[in-house]
Amino acid sequence: MTAIGELPERAMRSAILSLSRQPRVGRLATRLSLTRSMVQRFVAGETLVEALDALDRLRAAGRRTTVDVLGESVQSEAAATAAADRYLELLDALAGRGLDGNVSLKLSQMGLDLSPELCRANVARVFEAAAATGAFVRIDMEDHARTDSTLAIWRELRAINPASGVVIQAALRRSADDITALIAERAPVRLCKGAYREPAAVAFPTKPEVDESYLTLLGRLLREGASPALATHDPRMIRAATDLVEREGLGRDRFEFQMLYGIRRDLQQQLVGAGYRVRIYVPYGREWYPYFMRRLAERPANVMFLLRSVVHEERRRPS
């Protein structure tokens, strides 16, 4: 039986996904000032040049960065190959401009859903290019059905570029075991809560359970992990991390916070001012419309989260 309250959320998700697949709506959205202002806040531009300028501004503000070239879930081998090519161009540009050599990619963009072999070949090309310039590559985590493949491909290709890592989602029930294995492998892990709506059989169904999982994994990574990255905008999670670091004298250089481009810039600045490392996840690309809509569809509450973030910062802006 469907729980009370699920139907409105399902209806909203269905509507958002439907809109994401309608090119006419996308073209209209790109012309609306409200839509563009929202997207410009959370996407660093459509071109590499625009992204590089955004990265320069973030560096001047004391932020570290990781760059995501938009365009996951490709539908052809040519598109997957082209996606890898864009990462090679990005890595070359970052090195040439003296910016952070740090990128994030998704395996569905590299062709995982088409062919694991194609995906490995494309990721290997990116890893090789990163190794040549001393760059770090993080493989993002997608829905639970791709978790095993994602970890397997990273483990297989890690030798090409040891400066690489993965993402673990606290929402998944399996993540405690994954963290145990990854700590033993000295793997750089980015811990996030997880934005995908997953079945209760594989994921914690309530926010308190996800939060408790995040806090538990956060503690393990800070004490035992190799350069963990804590991806969160949640003040409670941030406070738990800083309290633990200060209480146990772990050192602020042992880890970093990661936040999304354009979200809680006030909190980013507070952490930088307090001497913590902060890295910003910076997406760019012409595929911003479907990307933006899918992010909202993954968890419709994100709509209100983004709006609250904007309102919160505007209220704090000096008049």
Task: Please check the confidence at residue 82 and state whether its pLDDT lies above 80.
Answer: yes
Active site residues: 140, 190
Share of the chain above pLDDT 70, in %: 79
pTM of the model: 0.85
46 or 52, greater pLDDT? 52
Mean pLDDT of 174-203: 94
- Collapsed DSSP state (helix, strand, coil) of residue 112: coil
pLDDT at 305: 61
pLDDT at 286: 80
What does the alpha-carbon distance between residue 13 and residue 6 come to, in Å, rounded to a whole number?
A: 11
Domains of the chain in start order, with CATH, are 1-47+287-314 (no CATH), 61-284 (3.20.20.220)
pLDDT band at 7 (very low <50, low <70, confident <90, very high): very low
Q: Which neighbouring-strand residues pair with 282?
A: 67
Find out whether 234 and 305 touch, Cβ atoms under 8 Å.
no
Mean pLDDT of 40-62: 93
User: Which residue blocks in the chain are alpha helix, DSSP H?
Assistant: 6-20, 23-29, 33-42, 48-60, 77-97, 116-133, 147-157, 175-184, 207-224, 235-248, 265-273, 288-298, 301-316
pLDDT at 1: 36
pLDDT tens digits, 258-314: 999 988 889 999 999 999 999 999 999 987 776 676 666 655 666 666 666 556 655
Mean pLDDT of 71-86: 93
What separation in angstroms does the CA of 36 have from each of 7, 46, 133?
A: 29, 12, 34
Secondary structure of 223-243 in HEC code, one letter for each residue: HHCCCCEEECCCHHHHHHHHH
- Collapsed DSSP state (helix, strand, coil) of residue 186: coil
pLDDT tens digits, 223-265: 999 999 999 999 999 999 999 999 999 999 999 999 999 888 8
